[in-house]
Chain A
Amino acid sequence: NAGVMQNPRHLVRRRGQEARLRCSPMKGHSHVYWYRQLPEEGLKFMVYLQKENIIDESGMPKERFSAEFPKEGPSILRIQQVVRGDSAAYFCASSLGTGVFGTEAFFGQGTRLTVV
């Protein structure tokens, strides 16, 4: 059972271009989370999705950022018109469910976005 797969591992974009980050959750997991880790900082929650639904996007910037988790295929985090401040590591995690006491979240290796 493969773990959470993210691609690409490294992505370089020029200012103004679009960045598309992909995340395939663990088999059987229908809950996907995206986190951003800025240099020297901890991870910050961005968005929580279930299949075809955005459940919570309270951590996502209002402009230029969007996320989807279609019925078929990976979850996509899309950043339009990237700026230097978007340079960070973006981690995707998946879980089996939430539940009152929560369940373990399994993380991918991350995508390191560099905006030049």
Chain B
Amino acid sequence: SQQGEEDPQALSIQEGENATMNCSYKTSINNLQWYRQNSGRGLVHLILIRSNEREKHSGRLRVTLDTSKKSSSLLITASRAADTASYFCATDARSGGGADGLTFGKGTHLIIQP
């Protein structure tokens, strides 16, 4: 199976609730990134968490990283209809300027019900 797998594949919640998405990976990483993709649009970078960080916040987003479990979670608090999108985690395993690129999972499709 691939590096960077999101869980669940799809999530539907009511507006105002919190949404939690998880990402697991297999190899050691330098950093992990979360992206959002609205339907028919390009990817938008949300947040990057480095391997020596455990938690990071950005507005209504909270990302955690547990390198011992090789997992990360993305929490969106007080969800809004505009948060409806697909969310991807991407792992960056490059070291010393190496160039494997980012490895993406299949994404979690989040639907916020008004």
Contact B99 A42 (CB under 8 A): no
The proximity string for B residues 95-109 relative to A, scoring 1 for CB distances below 8 Å and 0 otherwise, is 111111111111100
Interface centre among B31, B42, B50, B51 (most CB of A within 10 A): B42
* Among A40, A42, A48, A56, contact of B88 (Cβ-Cβ < 8 Å): A42
Q: Counting CB contacts under 8 A, is B60 at the interface?
A: no
CB A110 to nearest CB in B, in angstroms, measures 5
CB–CB B44/A107 < 8 A: yes
Contact B42 A45 (CB under 8 A): no
Say yes or no: B95 contacts A100, CB within 8 Å.
yes
Tell me how many residues of A have a C-beta within 8 Å of chain B. Answer: 28
Chain A residues lying within 8 Å of B96, measured Cβ to Cβ, are: 100
Task: Please determine whether B42 and A109 come into contact, CB atoms closer than 8 angstroms.
Answer: yes
The yes or no answer to A116 lying at the interface (CB within 8 A) is no
A43 near B: Cβ within 8 Å? yes
Selected from B44, B99, B104, the residue in CB contact (under 8 A) with A48 is B99
Q: Which residues of B contact A91 (CB under 8 A)?
A: 42-43
Min CB distance B88 to A, Å, is 6
- B interface residues with partner A (beta carbon < 8 Å): 2, 4, 30-31, 33, 35, 41-45, 48, 50-51, 88, 90, 92, 94-107
Closest 4 CB pairs of A and B: A45-B101, A109-B42, A56-B99, A43-B104
A interface with B by C-beta (< 8 Å) = 6, 33, 35, 40-45, 48, 55-56, 58-59, 91, 93, 98-102, 104-110
Q: Name 18 extra pairs, CB < 8 A, besides A35-B101, A41-B106, A42-B104.
A: A40-B106, A42-B105, A43-B102, A45-B103, A48-B99, A56-B98, A56-B100, A56-B101, A93-B102, A98-B94, A101-B31, A101-B51, A102-B94, A104-B48, A107-B35, A107-B42, A108-B42, A110-B42
